Structure 1
């Protein structure tokens, strides 16, 4: 006996005005929950906390903390985009392919460059260069 097929999920058009903002906030929170399942993102959050401690130890100014906050938010944004690339690549190309490898490697490079920017900024503050 076969099971009746479940209906395919329907795309719901976006709501206008405040409803759209509320929906978008929910999507963003859902995305953060998905990002939290990534080991790399959890490690970056831990290193971000360590960096904040170092900035405090260095006597960083409010502007330094703000600058780091922006860089760290960009790191998490790039990590989220990298995760999205990986998820889509695995869906589109579950078998090994050069294109899939290149897409994942480029996403990883983007994250790595943002990590270097964050580390470089904290080091520059610690050395009194900024």
Structure 2
């Protein structure tokens, strides 16, 4: 083995019980750190804060904040899945392909629909529809 050769990473079996929960929390934090390297995710975070400000201006009730929190969390989750799709697509199809383009476009559509849902909900609160 030369100095440039690295040993293959070993698959570590999951720990049981509390150890598994601790490990899973670490993986989730690592995922959020990775997601925040994406410009779109940072823009969605800013959008989320702006929408919270609008809810305050509109005099939203506690239920509105809870509902918006769920919608916002779903938007971030869909963005994370979209980023995962893009990462895997780039890995398995580094060259251009129609299937890779379609996969990325569909992921983008999912995020776009969640953005519309978030904006629509806040707009509905502002109009007194919910």
Shorter-chain TM-score: what band? over 0.9
1:119 aligns with 2:119: yes
- The residue that corresponds to 1:35 in the other structure is 35
- The residue that corresponds to 2:73 in the other structure is 73
For residues 11-70 of structure 1, give each alpha carbon's deviation from its aligned partner in whole angstroms, at most 9, with x where no partner exists: 100000000000000000000000000000000000100000000000000000000000
TM-score, normalized by length of structure 1? 0.97
CA 1:41–1:4: 2 relative to 1, 3 Å: closer
TM-score, normalized by length of structure 2? 0.97
Return structure 1 stretches of 4+ with deviation > 4 angstroms.
none
Structure 2: tracts of 5 or more residues without a match: none
Q: What value does the CA root-mean-square deviation take over the aligned residues?
A: 0.8
Distance 2:120 2:32 in 1: 25
What secondary structure is seen at the aligned counterpart in 2 of 1:7?
coil
What secondary structure is seen at the aligned counterpart in 2 of 1:123?
helix
1:6, distance to aligned residue in structure 2 (A): 1.4
For residues 59-83 of structure 1, give each alpha carbon's deviation from its aligned partner in whole angstroms, at most 9, with x where no partner exists: 0000000000000000000000000
What secondary structure is seen at the aligned counterpart in 1 of 2:59?
coil
Q: How many residues align?
A: 129
Distance 1:67 1:10 in 2: 42
- The residue that corresponds to 1:103 in the other structure is 103
